[in-house]
Structure 1
Amino acid sequence: MVVVTTIRREVLTLPAAEVGPDNPLPPLRPLDEVHRIEVRDRDRLPRETARQIGCAPLHSLLPVRVRDGYGRTRTPRPLDALVLENDRLRATVLPGLGGRIASLVHKPTGRELLYRNPVFQPANFALNGAWYSGGIEWNIGATGHTTLSCAPLHAARVPAPDDGEMLRLWEWERLRDLPFQVDLWLPDGSDFLHVGVRIRNPHERPVPTYWWSNTAVPEERRILAPASEAWHFGYERRLCRVPVPVHDGIDRTYPLNSTYAADYFYEVPDGRRRWIAALDEDGTGLVQTSTDVLRGRKLFVWGAGSGGRRWQQWLTEPGTGGYCEIQAGLARTQLEHVPLEAESEVAWLEAYGPLQTPPPAGEWDTVVRRTEERLQAVLPRADVEAAYAAWKPYADAEPGEILAGGSGWGALEVLHAGWKLPGTPFGESTLGEEQEPWRELPRTGALPEPRRVRPPGRTLVAPHWRDMLETAPGTPSTEYHLGVSQWHAGDRAQAVRSWERALVLAPSRWPLLRCLAVADQEAGHHERAADRYAEAFEALCDERRDSGEEWTAATAALGREAIEALLGVGRTAEARSVWDRLHPPTRARGRFRLLHAELLLAEGRPKEARAVFDAGFEVADLREGDERIGRVWDRVGGGPLPGRYDFRMRPGPGQGLP
Structure 2
Amino acid sequence: MGLFLENNYIKMMILPELGGRIQMAYDKIKERHFIYYNQVIKPALVGLTGPWISGGIEFNWPQHHRPTTFNPIDYKLEENTDGSKTVWVNEVEQMFHTKGMAGFTLYPDKAYIEIKAKLLNRSELPQTFLWWANPAVKVNDHYQSVFPPDVNAVFDHGKRDVSTFPIATGTYYKVDYSPGTDISMYKNIPVPTSYMAINSDYDFVGGYEHDTEGGLLHVANHHVSPGKKQWTWGHSDFGVAWDRNLTDEDGPYIELMTGMFTDNQPDFTWLMPNEEKVFYAILYALQVIGRN
Q: TM-score, normalised by structure 1?
A: 0.40
Aligned partners of 2:239, 2:48: CA distance in 1, in Å?
20
Counterparts of 2:236 and 2:97, CA distance in 1: 39
CA contact (8 A) 2:83 2:108 kept: no
RMSD: 1.7
1:188 corresponds to which residue? 108
How has the CA–CA distance of structure 1 residues 161 and 268 changed in structure 2, closer, same or farther, with 3 Å as cutoff?
Answer: farther
Aligned-pair identity (%): 25
Q: 1:276 aligned to 2:205?
A: yes
Look up the SS of the partner of 1:222 in the other structure: strand
Structure 1 position 356, deviation (Å):
2.4
Which residue is equivalent to 1:287? 217
Q: Which runs of 4+ in 1 moved over 6 A?
A: none
Alignment match, 2:133? 213
* 1:265 equivalent in alignment to 2:196: yes
AA at the equivalent of 1:253: S
> How many Å apart are 1:345 and its aligned residue?
1.5
Answer yes or no: is the 8 Å Cα contact 2:27–2:285 preserved in 1: yes
Q: For residue 86 of structure 1, what is the aligned residue in structure 2?
A: 7
Aligned match of 1:225: 147
Task: Report the CA distance shift for 1:163/1:290 in structure 2 as closer, same or farther (over 3 A).
Answer: same
CA contact 2:37–2:250 (8 Å) conserved in 1: no
Question: Which protein has the bigger helix share?
Answer: 1
Output the CA distance in 1 between the equivalents of 2:116 and 2:268: 21
Using the TM superposition, give the Cα deviation of residue 291 of structure 1 relative to its aligned residue in structure 2, in angstroms: 2.8
**Given the superposition, is the C-alpha separation of residues 254 and 175 from structure 1 closer, same or farther in structure 2, using an over 3 Å criterion?**
farther
2:23 equivalent to 1:102? yes
Post-superposition CA distance 1:402-444 (Å, at most 9, x none): xxxxxxxxxxxxxxxxxxxxxxxxxxxxxxxxxxxxxxxxxxx
Counterpart of 1:354 in structure 2 is 285
The match for 1:315 among 219, 222, 246 is 246
Q: Which secondary structure does the structure 2 equivalent of 1:90 belong to? A: strand
Higher RCO (CA 8 Å, separation ≥ 6 residues): 2
CA distance in structure 1 between the aligned counterparts of 2:137 and 2:120, rounded to whole angstroms: 30
Residue of 192, 198, 202 corresponding to 2:118 = 198
Instruction: Return the index of the structure with the highest Cα Rg.
Output: 1
Q: Structure 2 length as normaliser, TM-score?
A: 0.89
Amino acid at match of 1:228: N
1:84-110 C-alpha deviation (Å, 9 max, x unpaired): 011111111111001111111111222
Distance 1:349 1:340 in 2: 17
User: Match of 1:201, as an amino acid?
Assistant: N
Distance, in Å, in 2 between the alignment partners of 1:305 and 1:148 is 31
Q: Which amino acid aligns with 2:204?
A: W
For the pair 1:334 / 2:265, whether they are aligned, the reply is yes
| Cα distance per residue 1:117-138 (max 9 Å; x no partner) | 1210111110111110000111
Do 1:160 and 1:185's aligned partners in 2 also have CA atoms closer than 8 Å? no
**1:161 positional shift:** 6.3
AA aligned opposite 1:200: L
- Note the C-alpha offset of 1:358: 3.5
5+ unaligned residues in a row in structure 1: which ranges? 1-79, 363-658
SS state of the match for residue 291, structure 1? coil
Superposed, 1:465-476 pairs within 5 Å as none
Closer/same/farther in 2, CA of residues 326 and 153 from structure 1, 3 Å limit: same
CA distance, structure 2, for counterparts of residue 116 and residue 239 of structure 1: 32
Following superposition, the deviation at residue 247 of structure 1 comes to: 1.1
Q: 1:112 to 1:281 in 2, by over 3 A?
A: same
Q: For residue 175 of structure 2, what is the aligned residue in structure 1?
A: none
State the aligned residue count. 275
CA distance in 1, matches of 2:265, 2:96: 16
Distance 2:9 2:199 in 1: 30
Aligned pairs for 1:129-528 within 5 A: 129-142=50-63, 144-160=64-80, 162-220=82-140, 221-226=143-148, 227-233=151-157, 239-248=160-169, 249-269=180-200, 272-282=201-211, 283-292=213-222, 293-317=224-248, 319-330=249-260, 331-359=262-290
Provide the C-alpha distance between the structure 1 equivalents of 2:95 and 2:81, rounded to a whole number of angstroms.
Answer: 32
> For each residue in 1:147-191, what CA deviation from the matched residue of structure 2 results, as whole angstroms up to 9, or x when unmatched?
111111111112436253311110112233210111111112110
The CA distance in 1 between the partners of 2:47 and 2:69, in whole Å, is 7
Q: What secondary structure does 2:238 align onto?
A: helix
